Structure 1
């Protein structure tokens, strides 16, 4: 797995993809891998049943194991890529407000048409290739019709339909958990507790209580949903990971190296701010306000691991989270949009575009040592 990840990373670096393009590439790649695996499993079962018989018993069409594996591989590779592209760039907006089960059901029904068309086209190509003739040759057409009208075809459609349901189910689970959390669960990265250095940003919407009272529960939920959605690209572009949504607060985290590179943790805040500002007219039209927010960023060692029995979750624990939360509470006191700790400041390759003002020491309850805090502003 590590070798595959390394090869993929080298490929992405060599073609210089943006973080958003890499994010989309991984989403599409997951569909391709799942489809190819399921396809080769089908070809393997088929070979186990037919072996060297040379023909399909129900249709009497020629069966060649090497051709079967090759065409199934090529077909599932293409189909996986098509489904991945549609899921990444096509259906997301249309099914955004659908429930989990309805979303999978509707997508599966829509894909059913694609399944049948794809299988018929693939059958034409493979049969024409075997007979070394044109796609519309009478012998090819006759063979394909025997295949389509045979129960074997229905069996294949059902199998691929199950593949659709499973891959779409995994895709929805991944979207609900988050790509990084899902990948870490699959790899078992946090199956055992581990200590790592991370950066955390606690970001909180200003005047959220007043806004909620004015908008009402449903409209306030719609505002939060829009607000969190609009910050997604900024988080992806700076290699951030969503750790938790806590009401109107979002906690974003980075492995130390990713968060420091190009000041990603700082850039994330200002890219989110720019994203919201660019849609300010839409927010005013729909909600009569433009969301404002404040944030704090701090770094340090945390213990991370899977917890829970009835519900598994990856949890970070350590003083760094409590400290970041306390620093964020000081934003109002210093009339600051963004505060960072001295610990983080020492690591960051700060640029001239940023103005850093040291505000003093923050004494935390239950701790002997104070921590320095700094206001960050764009010059």
Structure 2
């Protein structure tokens, strides 16, 4: 299944479960535990979550103008759309029809039901907004406490750097280079989703992507992700040329090994990755600027793939690297693959 579709369906399933549980909770608190009333609550919870979740994931997420709004403006637009959906569904009264109970004929009851549904929907909307800010996986990891205590994991780490960004910043100016990087990172992130990676961070003109060993080893996903990024930039080149007068070019590096993952900080809590693997990947990215093709992958990473790479790679031998007296064995790929 397409990775983007699979991700959307997983999130929709989570929203449906949350909607049904909310419907049950509201019914029990407001009306007690009668079978008919529970059926009404479950029906409304399922329908509202299904319709709102589907529109959110398959419609609103594709509206670029909505993404460019501030957090509060975005939340307000989404909440207005949710309110219209809630009113439409409640006017049809599907819960009462399915449960076989008398339809609501009181305006007060209608608005009371609307208020309860609206509160739940705004909370769901807020959850989507927070997930978009910090990442859905990061949000889930915070909620479950997966990294509350630091753990060691074997991971692939991919560093991707925008080449020539310093010169572009001088020409485009501060606001212009920010828009350029934002547009570039949004495009690159689509490839990350396609190959089931996780965006760890954006650092200046770099994006850092990781995969757990089991996921990244499948079909050489980190390598395919980097090549897909390059192809996406090539496809979008005319648009970048028109808007910025320049087309982004990327360099990259890939390494594998144990990293320490854990929550850190107090006022601003974050999940961070530490260890020699992160440092080595960053230094490999520095070396990639000096090799043809602009990409280096360590032999340690290549050895962990479940199969051979999907395109030719060149053995570059052992390269000296800062912090390692014995250097590191690497391979490279061409500029266009």
The CA deviation at 1:272 is: 0.9
Q: Which residue of 1 aligns with 2:48?
A: 79
2:263 is matched with 306
User: Which of these residues, 167, 188, 196, is aligned with residue 124 of structure 2?
Assistant: 167
Q: Is the 8 A contact 1:327 1:373 kept in 2?
A: no
Tell me the distance in 2 between the aligned counterparts of 1:364 and 1:351.
26
CA–CA separation in structure 2 for the residues paired with 1:268 and 1:352: 12
Written as runs of structure 1 = structure 2, the 5 A alignment for 1:188-337 is: 188-337=145-294
| Contact 1:201–1:297, Cα closer than 8 Å, also in 2 | yes
Alignment pair present for 1:27 and 2:11: yes
* Distance of aligned partners of 1:311 and 1:90 in 2 relative to their CA distance in 1, 3 Å threshold: same
Cα distance in 2 for partners of 1:353, 1:152 equals: 61
Q: Aligned-pair distance for 1:129?
A: 6.0
Question: Helix, strand or coil for the counterpart of 1:363?
Answer: strand
Asked which structure has the greater CA Rg, the reply is 1
Tell me the distance in 2 between the aligned counterparts of 1:192 and 1:184.
11
| 2:91 aligned counterpart, secondary structure | helix
1:97 alignment partner in structure 2: 68
Change (3 A) 1:67 1:190: same
Equivalent positions of 1:51-200 (< 5 A) are 65-92=34-61, 93=63, 94-122=65-93, 126-127=96-97, 130=100, 144=104, 146-147=105-106, 149=107, 151-200=108-157
Q: Classify the secondary structure of the residue corresponding to 1:203.
A: strand
CA distance in 2, matches of 1:232, 1:75: 35
Distance between the aligned counterparts of 2:73 and 2:166, measured in 1?
Answer: 33
Matched residues in 2 for 1:292 and 1:326: separation? 19
* TM-score computed with the length of structure 1 as normaliser: 0.83
- Structure-2 residue corresponding to 1:54: none
Shift of 1:327: 0.7
CA distance in 2, matches of 1:304, 1:129: 49
Pairwise CA RMSD of aligned residues? 1.9
Query: In the alignment, is residue 37 of structure 1 matched against residue 37 of structure 2?
Result: no
Does structure 2 retain, via aligned residues, the 8 Å contact 1:283–1:290? Answer: yes
The gaps in structure 1 that reach 5 residues or longer are: 1-16, 52-64, 132-139
Residue ranges of structure 2 left out of the alignment (5+ in a row): none
Moved more, 312-321 or 107-116: 107-116
Cα distance per residue 1:296-338 (max 9 Å; x no partner): 0000001111111111111111000100011111112223321
TM-score (norm 2): 0.93
Distance in 1, Cα, partners of 2:293 & 2:281: 15
Q: Deviation string for 1:30-77 (max 9, x for gaps)? A: 3222222211111111244xx6xxxxxxxxxxxxx1111112212211
Residue by residue, what CA displacement relative to the aligned partner does 1:239-267 show, whole Å, maximum 9, x if unpaired? Answer: 10000000110000000111111010100
Count of residues in Structure 1 that have an aligned counterpart in Structure 2: 334
Distance 2:312 2:251 in 1: 17
Aligned mates of 2:276, 2:161 — CA distance in 1:
19
Q: Equivalents in 2 of 1:128, 1:235: separation in Å?
A: 43
- Cα deviation, 1:210-241, whole Å, max 9, x if unaligned, reads 01111111221111111111122211111100
Partner Cα distance (2:98, 2:223) in 1: 58
- The 1:368/1:327 distance shift into structure 2, 3 A limit, reads same
Q: Which moved more, 1:203-212 or 1:226-235?
A: 226-235
- Residue 154 of structure 1 and its aligned partner are, at CA, apart by 1.8
Distance 2:248 2:323 in 1: 34
Matches of 1:184 and 1:21, distance apart in 2 = 22
